[in-house]
Amino acid sequence: MKKFIGFVKKEYYHIIRDPRTLFVLIAMPIAQILLFGYVITNEIKNASIGILDHSKDEITKQISSKILSSGYFKLDASINSEQEIHEAFRKGKIKEVIVFEPHFAEKLKKEGTAKIQIIADASDPNMANLLTNYTEAIIRNYSIAITTQNTQISLITPEVRMLYNPELKGAYMFVPGIIAMLLMLISALMTSISITREKELGTMEVLLASPLNPFTVITGKVTPYLLLSFINACLILLTGYFVFNVPVNGSIILLLAECLLFIFMALSLGILISTATKTQQAAMLISLVVLMLPTILLSGFIFPVENMPLPLQYLCKIMPPKYFINIVRTIMLKGGNLATLWSDTLILFGMSIFFLMVSMRKYKIRLE
Amino acid sequence: MNFVEINNISKSYGTHKALLETSFSVKKGELFGVIGPDGAGKTTLFRILTTLLLADSGSANMAGFDILKDYKKIRQIVGYMPGKFSLYQDLTIEENLAFFATIFGTTIKENYELIKDIYIQIEPFKDRPAGKLSGGMKQKLALSCALIHKPEILILDEPTTGVDAVSRTEFWDLLRRFKEMGITIIVSTPYMDEASLCDRVALMQEGKIMQIDTPANIVKNYKPELLAIKSNNMHDLLVKLREYNLNSQVYLFGQTIHFSSNQTINQSDLNNYLKNNGHTNVEISTSIPTIEDCFLWLMKQHN
Amino acid sequence: MEKEKAITVKNLVKKFGSFVANDNLTFDVYKGEIFGFLGANGAGKTTALKILCGLSSPTSGEINVAGFDVYSETNKIKNNIGYMSQKFSLYEDLTVYENIRFYGGIYGLKLKDIRKRADELIQKLGLTNVRNELLSSIPLGWKQKLAFSVAIFHHPKIVFLDEPTGGVDPVTRREFWDMIYDAAGEGITIMVTTHYMDEAEYCNRVCIMVDGRIEAIGTPSELIKNQNAENMNDVFLQLARKAKQQ
């Protein structure tokens, strides 16, 4: 035990004596989450829209002025026919077109329902999603207002059509993705680098020639990074909560426990990488390419797994971050508990044990 | 009694044979030197002894422990200083030493007496990171770290390479002191002049041990006649001497040229030959061979 | 007759903050001379060598290398010197020939000249059989000899050798010195640092540095006589020890 504490102390010195790296490790999660947060939830202000009013009655005029006076939108062009819509979009001048069906007020009075079509340029999917959400909200407000005024029940149903990117999923869910990405980065990258650094410096030779057993070396290496990663996970959750109001609907303890499990998995991977590489450079490259890219691309973080071609979907199934991101999303957003997440947790746990076993076996007690 | 026994150890990397059927033994409390240039196989040999590498064939035991079966025991009783400076650059002198003490399950306090003599020299800088020490101080710190667990056998791989002559002499003084405390020391060096500081030496070249003996005996076994020759034009002297007797070895040695041959050389004939070739101030004298002379001669026998 | 000077150093001072690495050095090196630069680790040899190579500028002093001023004409200096150290010499992942061609190219030699001279050099060094082998596969002694040849490939006026023979076997070490003598015979000035004290005796003149100052300068036999010593090793130990006791 004394040996273990001595080892952890040494690792602690390495981390503390390198303030630049430490700063990056602590500041990166916050910087990342702010960056992602603001890139995705861009406030809209005076977005250019067009209105095609087939009806031109009292109510459509009222709705139009409500939308335009909200401060979020400004009218760029009046559009007179369906053909002009595409042309306006192609010129790139406008982001959204609102279409009122003919005899809007009449229909609303007679049938109690009328249709507004909202067409958005979803080549910028996040923006499109935002604009339509805002528009819908304004129309809904108006609809409630007139319903309470009149005794008649009237319903205006906005029909949203996304152009160019029909499926628009998970744009807000960056917090779970960032947690996965950063835990992977810090845990796997930093452990693999810190082990290969000892190989490069030649200190590994002295450690191997000492009675220190591999288990102590590995646990001693991993412990400080486990702590550091855990602090980072908490930092991300706090920033998410206070800056972007990302809620944690489920059990916070379960969430933290799942984070620990994922960190454990990433650390095992880091050790595995370090057993297969000799230089810090190689360890860094492998960590970035083999771990980071799949975490970003093949985990459902940015691109939904459901939309991928079948072979890629199978590939996603063996990516640990996929399960972790799903777990975190379910707990944070849907308030899920272990009853719904046991299978994902079990898979993650199995993967951790597998990587740990392989890396322990591959860890050499001699030089080559 | 043999404390370290090495029998027919061989090791290859691919097609390159690093070590060829090497055998020798070291007695308890002996200061044993392995002398040879880079690529002689010294590091490979030491890594096999410290259980860091597996030999392709052969066996060895240290203090009665087999290097293969009892590698854990050997790691307890051996102090090892690799060729490359291998301490943590960002840790201070004291932190490095404390760390190496802990991993061997001991403390600085417990074995302070042993390292006191060296540690006192570097103690004034104990809060300085190891990376900012001078070459000589680094060497002393590395030695302290290798000694902190009171090893029975000390294995030092080229501890004096790249270190200046003053620090080198100091370092050898320290080694003699540890030898007197009863620690068995195996040390390698490319500097031939350091051989005379060892009890016994093995002269190594290209994976083979050419000779093992005390430095005095190695010199005694040097067969050829050895002349030290000087003249006004040393560079040309080298050329002319090589032409004089094709079966000889002619090498620069400090301010003289060492001329050796298995045949007897008539000094006055040689003197005349040189004078006829335009050399003045020719001085010829018989010389006592150094270990380097012996090494050069052995290299020739082995090729 | 006044001998032609290859390097003149007058009152060279180099400070790093409050630390004085070179304390008022003054010396000359003559054309075609083999000049040994000795000193303990940290005595300031490397610092001085870097200044002379134009890699670092001095704090003060007048320094002239190969006829050029170290403050204003560093590029001209670099074109007229060669440099070789034990650590950085050649590319391990290039072949023998590719290494020569690369260095020839750096110094702006014409490809035709490079080819011709590379062939001559390879033949002279006896490397014909390994001409197209990767450098990593040839023995250390050959590499060191090749590194030296490459350092003087562009016929520099001065060549700086920083511990060129570390770890090399005694035969190769002497062959290496044969090459140094040949180069000096061609008029190349050689400035060399070493930890082998017998090598110090092969130099025409040596300069011993202690704690940033020049403690002694002269021919090896002069120094040995002055210090009442047997050989250069004793001279060095006496001078360096004296400094430590102060």
With respect to residue C146, please indicate whether it lies within any of the assigned structural domains.
no
**Which pLDDT belongs to residue B228?**
93
Same structural domain, B286 and B201: no
Check pLDDT > 80 for residue A368: no
Contact A2 B105 (CB under 8 A): yes
Query: Last residue of a domain, which of B176, B193, B219?
Result: B219
Same structural domain, B174 and B280: no
Helices marked H in C40-131: 45-52, 74-80, 96-106, 111-124
In angstroms, the CA B291 to CA B51 distance is 30
Q: Which residues of B touch C232 (CB under 8 A)?
A: 254
More confident residue, A166 or B108: B108
Check pLDDT > 60 for residue A21: yes
Contact C201 B292 (CB under 8 A): no
Interstrand relation of B57-62 and B31-35 (parallel, antiparallel or unpaired) = unpaired
A177-204 tens-digit pLDDT: 888 888 888 888 889 999 999 998 889 9
* Residue B235 touches chain C, beta carbons under 8 Å: yes
Range of the domain at B283: 222-302
With respect to residue C234, please indicate whether it lies within any of the assigned structural domains.
yes
Q: Which residues of A touch B186 (CB under 8 A)?
A: none
Cβ atoms C220, C203 nearer than 8 A: yes
Same structural domain, B57 and B201: yes
Check pLDDT > 80 for residue A71: no
The confidence band for B80, taking pLDDT boundaries of 50, 70 and 90, is very high
The whole-number average pLDDT for the span B112-138 is 88
The whole-number average pLDDT for the span B128-135 is 86
Percent of chain A with pLDDT over 90: 17
CATH number of the structural domain spanning residue C227: 3.40.50.300
Contact A211 B71 (CB under 8 A): no
Considering only CA atoms, which of A34, A36, A12 is closest in space to residue A22? A12
In angstroms, the CA B168 to CA B178 distance is 16
Highest mean pLDDT among A49-58, B99-108, B244-253: B99-108
Q: Which residues of B touch A212 (CB under 8 A)?
A: 103
Q: Which residues of B touch A20 (CB under 8 A)?
A: none
B11-46 tens-digit pLDDT: 999 888 899 999 999 999 999 999 998 889 999 999
The confidence band for A159, taking pLDDT boundaries of 50, 70 and 90, is low
Considering only CA atoms, which of B90, B85, B253, B87 is closest in space to residue B163? B85
Strand partners, B80: B155
Same structural domain, B255 and B184: no
Contact A211 B88 (CB under 8 A): no
The domains of chain A, with CATH numbers, are 7-39+172-362 (no CATH), 47-163 (3.40.1710.10)
A274-333 tens-digit pLDDT: 988 989 999 999 888 888 888 888 887 777 777 788 888 888 888 888 899 889 888 887
Range of the domain at C225: 5-83+153-245
User: Pick from A9, A13, A205: which is nearest to B52 by CB?
Assistant: A205
Q: And the tokens for B269?
A: 């004939």
* Residue B164 touches chain C, beta carbons under 8 Å: yes
Query: Last residue of a domain, which of B219, B254, B277?
Result: B219
Q: Which residues of A touch B51 (CB under 8 A)?
A: 209, 366
* Residue B253 touches chain C, beta carbons under 8 Å: yes
What residues contact residue B138 under an 8 Å CB cut-off, 6+ apart? Answer: B85, B87, B130
- The count of domains in chain C is 1
φ/ψ of residue B21, rounded to 5:
35, 60
Contact B47 A367 (CB under 8 A): yes
Same structural domain, B212 and B162: yes
Same structural domain, B235 and B297: yes
C neighbour chains, 3+ CB pairs within 8 Å:
B
Least confident of A4-8, A78-82, A170-174, C178-182: A170-174
Same structural domain, B254 and B139: no
**Which pLDDT belongs to residue B153?**
96
In total, chain B counts a number of residues equal to 303
Residue A271 has, within 13 A of its CA and on its CB side, a CA count of 29
**Which pLDDT belongs to residue C185?**
87
Percent of chain B with pLDDT over 90: 64
Same structural domain, B109 and B232: no
Q: Which residues of B touch A14 (CB under 8 A)?
A: 88, 90-91
With respect to residue C201, please indicate whether it lies within any of the assigned structural domains.
yes
With respect to residue C124, please indicate whether it lies within any of the assigned structural domains.
no
What residues contact residue A119 under an 8 Å CB cut-off, 6+ apart? Answer: A85, A89, A96, A97, A98, A99, A161, A163
| Nearest chain B Cα distance for residue C175, angstroms | 9
Same structural domain, B104 and B202: yes
With respect to residue C141, please indicate whether it lies within any of the assigned structural domains.
no
Longest alpha-carbon distance in chain B: 73
Same structural domain, B242 and B212: no
SS3 A174: helix
* Residue A13 touches chain B, beta carbons under 8 Å: yes
**Which pLDDT belongs to residue B127?**
92
User: Pick from A2, A14, A209: which is nearest to B52 by CB?
Assistant: A209
Contact B102 A3 (CB under 8 A): yes
In angstroms, the CA C44 to CA C38 distance is 10
The whole-number average pLDDT for the span A56-80 is 81
| Nearest chain C Cα distance for residue B222, angstroms | 17
Considering only CA atoms, which of B252, B254, B249, B257 is closest in space to residue B303? B249
The whole-number average pLDDT for the span C25-37 is 93
User: Pick from C39, C42, C169: which is nearest to B205 by CB?
Assistant: C169
Check pLDDT > 80 for residue C97: yes
- A329-362 exposure pattern, b = at least 16 Cβ within 10 A, e = fewer: bbbbbeebeeeebeebbebbeebbeebbeebeee
In angstroms, the CA A129 to CA B118 distance is 72
**Inter-chain Cβ pairs, chain B and chain C, closer than 8 A:** 87
**Which pLDDT belongs to residue A149?**
59
Contact A207 B103 (CB under 8 A): yes
Least confident of A142-156, B53-67, B192-206, C165-179: A142-156
C188-246 tens-digit pLDDT: 999 999 888 888 888 999 999 988 899 999 999 899 999 898 888 888 888 887 765 55
A92-130 tens-digit pLDDT: 778 888 888 888 888 877 877 788 888 887 777 777 777
| Nearest chain C Cα distance for residue B190, angstroms | 6
Q: Which residues of A touch B12 (CB under 8 A)?
A: none
Same structural domain, B11 and B54: yes
B239-260 tens-digit pLDDT: 888 888 777 888 888 888 999 9
| DSSP state string for B192-260 | GGGGGGSSEEEEEETTEEEEEE-HHHHHHT--SEEEEEE-S-HHHHHHHHHHH-TTEEEEEETTEEEEE
C114-167 tens-digit pLDDT: 999 999 999 988 888 889 989 888 888 888 889 999 999 889 999 999 888 887
* Residue A18 touches chain B, beta carbons under 8 Å: yes
Check pLDDT > 70 for residue A42: no
- C126-139 exposure pattern, b = at least 16 Cβ within 10 A, e = fewer: ebeebeeeebeebb
User: Pick from B166, B191, B299: which is nearest to C241 by CB?
Assistant: B166
* Residue B272 touches chain A, beta carbons under 8 Å: no
With respect to residue C92, please indicate whether it lies within any of the assigned structural domains.
no
The whole-number average pLDDT for the span A236-262 is 86
With respect to residue C121, please indicate whether it lies within any of the assigned structural domains.
no
Check pLDDT > 60 for residue A344: yes
| Nearest chain B Cα distance for residue C167, angstroms | 5
Contact A209 B71 (CB under 8 A): no
More confident residue, A334 or C180: C180
* Residue B84 touches chain A, beta carbons under 8 Å: yes
**Which pLDDT belongs to residue C244?**
59
Strand partners, C84: C161
User: Pick from B86, B105, B145: which is nearest to A202 by CB?
Assistant: B86
Nearest CA in chain C to B190: C167
Chains B and A touch (3+ CB pairs under 8 A): yes
Contact B299 C178 (CB under 8 A): no
Which sign does the torsion angle of CA A241, A244, A248, A249 carry?
positive
* Average pLDDT over all residues of chain A: 82
Same structural domain, B93 and B151: yes
- The count of domains in chain B is 2
Q: And the tokens for B158?
A: 């080229």
Considering only CA atoms, which of B179, B101, B82 is closest in space to residue B139? B82
What is the crossing angle of helices B267-276 and B234-244, to 10°? Answer: 120
B interface test, pick of C180, C195, C227, C235 with most B CB neighbours within 10 Å: C195
In angstroms, the CA C99 to CA B162 distance is 26
Chains A and C touch (3+ CB pairs under 8 A): no
A120-136 tens-digit pLDDT: 877 777 777 778 878 88
Query: Last residue of a domain, which of B219, B248, B267?
Result: B219
Nearest CA in chain B to A216: B103
**Which pLDDT belongs to residue C96?**
92
With respect to residue C101, please indicate whether it lies within any of the assigned structural domains.
no
